[in-house]
Amino acid sequence: MNTLLWILGLTFFDGLVALVGAFSLLLSDRVLKGVLYVLVAFSTGALLGGAFFHLLAESLDNLTPSVSFTVLIVSFSLFFLLERILHWHHCHDSDCDVHEYTTLILVGDGIHNFIDGLVIAGAFLTSVKLGLLASLLIILHEIPQELGNFAVLVHGGMGKARALLYNFLAQLTCVAGGVIGYFMPFEGFKAFMLPFAAGGFIYIAASDLIPELHKEASLRKSLTAFVFFAVGVAMMLATKILFGG
């Protein structure tokens, strides 16, 4: 299949993840909180495992370690800077200050998803296997984020249909990022996108997801989170051993 078709298909599928937020309306607050907690723990492990075992490791085939790690640090720092400037808010709790963040969530999420599209394109330009892996990692961390975002938009005063539409449109910027990433004019782009993506995944896991897990005081739930975190890491390690890349 043509690389561009892969990119268009996976970035559009990522856009459809925004619609998962509607399922939060079918769950009680207690059940939703439990589901989000498990998903966040699993996606944290998967993001870190994918960043180190796949993206960063693969980048070393084309870049020197010093260049690869420099790009990773630059990416991590850029995500930090953007989050501070835009007040990005990956909210997994409907008790957030929704009135302040309702608009910012949509703006920040749109930019975030545009970058996700660039990452998917860069990975597919390297290989279909890496493209599929990067898409999986992005979708895994998008599911709990979109559940939380939709809940926040509704609690912030938006109607359900409007919240779904706006969340979906913000998610579709991933397609634009994918198309632009595919047509980037320089060949070296794909090599640098791998450590760049790794830095972004590590930042999301360390800055946004792990702090959410630390909010839980219960030892039983903390151990449950660690188990699902470990499963996420193990899944990425297993795919590395079984399929390489």
User: DSSP letters along 76-142, please?
Assistant: HHHHHHHHHHHT------TTS-HHHHHHHHHHHHHHHHHHHHHHHHHHHHH-HHHHHHHHHHHHHHH
Quote the CA–CA distance of 44 and 226 in Å, as a whole number.
10
Lowest mean per-residue pLDDT among 128-142, 176-190, 230-244: 176-190
pLDDT level of residue 99 (50, 70, 90 thresholds): very low
Residue with tokens 């630390």: 214
Crossing angle, helix 29-49 and helix 219-243, to 10 degrees?
40
pTM over 0.95: no
Q: What is the pLDDT of residue 87?
A: 56
Question: Above 70 in pLDDT, residue 235?
Answer: yes
Q: What is the pLDDT of residue 108?
A: 63
Question: Above 80 in pLDDT, residue 32?
Answer: no
Lowest mean per-residue pLDDT among 37-41, 60-64, 67-71, 158-162: 158-162
Q: What is the pLDDT of residue 226?
A: 94
Question: Above 80 in pLDDT, residue 129?
Answer: yes
Mean of all residue pLDDT scores within the chain = 81
State which of 68-72, 144-148, 169-173 shows the largest mean pLDDT.
68-72
CA neighbor of 94 nearest in space, from 139, 31, 14: 31
Quote the CA–CA distance of 7 and 60 in Å, as a whole number.
23
The mean pLDDT of 107-122, rounded to a whole number, is 81
Q: What is the pLDDT of residue 58?
A: 83
pLDDT level of residue 64 (50, 70, 90 thresholds): very high
Quote the CA–CA distance of 52 and 179 in Å, as a whole number.
26
Question: Above 50 in pLDDT, residue 98?
Answer: no
| Domain ranges (residues) in the chain | 3-243
- More confident position, 90 or 7: 7
Quote the CA–CA distance of 90 and 192 in Å, as a whole number.
26
